[in-house]
Amino acid sequence: MHIHIISIVPELLDSPLNHSIMKRAKEKGLLTVTVHHLRKWAVNEYGQVDDYQYGGGAGMVMMCEPLEKAINELQQEKKFDEIIYLTPDGVTLKQQTANRLSLKENLLLICGHYKGIDERIRQHYVTMEISIGDYVLSGGELAAAVLVDTIGRIIPGVLNDETSALTDSFQDQLLAPPVYTRPADYNGWKIPDILLSGDLKKIEEWRHEQALQRTKERRPDLLDE
């Protein structure tokens, strides 16, 4: 998969996408992430990419022209499966959407700042609008990093243990069950006996029960969906 990101603060995306699983996905050749500085397509020598909003009011709006030029130039090399605008008024990101996106070949992400991007770019170029939750970030970059991470780790072949991503919280609308590692008795805190029984079928049942119970307690809304 190839992910291209348009940003006015590309530095924000350097660190989060170059470690751990993201690093492994890139090294395995399963994922490339290219960050493009929007100022490359600025409307003048001062690097202007934003302007005051029509109708008045505080806050700048990212202009059509730099964004259109950036999108068109990047589209020349490859057709994007989706052009995604990260915005707090987008559709809230869910595991299911990430699963679907992990099967795509080429994605373009647009990170907004200030009041956001000119509505006409949203109408004529953007194919998906995604929010990562009900709170406001100062820009789309951290949201883009979240999206790339959650997609990247489930690209087929990225995780060594193929089943690992499938047993995550949310993968089947359930939170994950509790997990334990050695020692079995830590200062008198013992792990559940069932996990030492060696009965894999019983352990699987126990885990499912725990997952269900945890979901009922903490996220009953997931069970209604």
Which residues participate in the annotated binding site for S-adenosyl-L-methionine?
112, 132-137
State the binding site. Answer: 112, 132-137
Residue number, 66 or 140, with CB nearest to ligand 6GU: 140
Regarding 16 and contact with ligand 6GU (CB under 6 A), the answer is: no
Residue 78's contacts (CB-CB under 8 Å, 6 or more residues apart) are 2, 106
- Identified binder of ligand 6GU from the candidate list 66, 140, 152, 177, rule CB under 6 A: 140
- For residue 156, say if its preceding peptide bond is cis, omega within 30 degrees of 0: no
In Å, the largest CA–CA distance within the chain is: 70
Rounded least distance, CB 5 to ligand 6GU, Å: 12
Rounded least distance, CB 95 to ligand 6GU, Å: 16
Regarding 210 and contact with ligand 6GU (CB under 6 A), the answer is: no
Bridge partners (DSSP) listed for residue 186: 189
User: Hey, how many other C-beta atoms are within 10 angstroms of the C-beta on 123?
Assistant: 8
Query: Each residue of 179-190: b (16+ CB within 10 Å) or e?
Result: eeeeeeeeeeee
**Measured distance CA(210)–CA(207) in Å, rounded:** 5
- Identified binder of ligand 6GU from the candidate list 101, 143, 155, 158, rule CB under 6 A: 143
Regarding 131 and contact with ligand 6GU (CB under 6 A), the answer is: yes
Rounded to 10 deg, the angle between the 20-27 and 141-152 helix axes is 60
Q: Kind and range of the H or E element at 35?
A: strand 32-37
Stretch touching ligand 6GU by CB under 6 A, among 40-48, 63-71, 84-92, 167-175: 84-92
**Measured distance CA(22)–CA(6) in Å, rounded:** 19
Stretch touching ligand 6GU by CB under 6 A, among 8-16, 26-34, 75-83, 135-143: 135-143
Regarding 179 and contact with ligand 6GU (CB under 6 A), the answer is: no
Regarding 86 and contact with ligand 6GU (CB under 6 A), the answer is: yes
Residues that bind ligand 6GU (CB under 6 A): 86-88, 131-133, 135-137, 139-140, 143
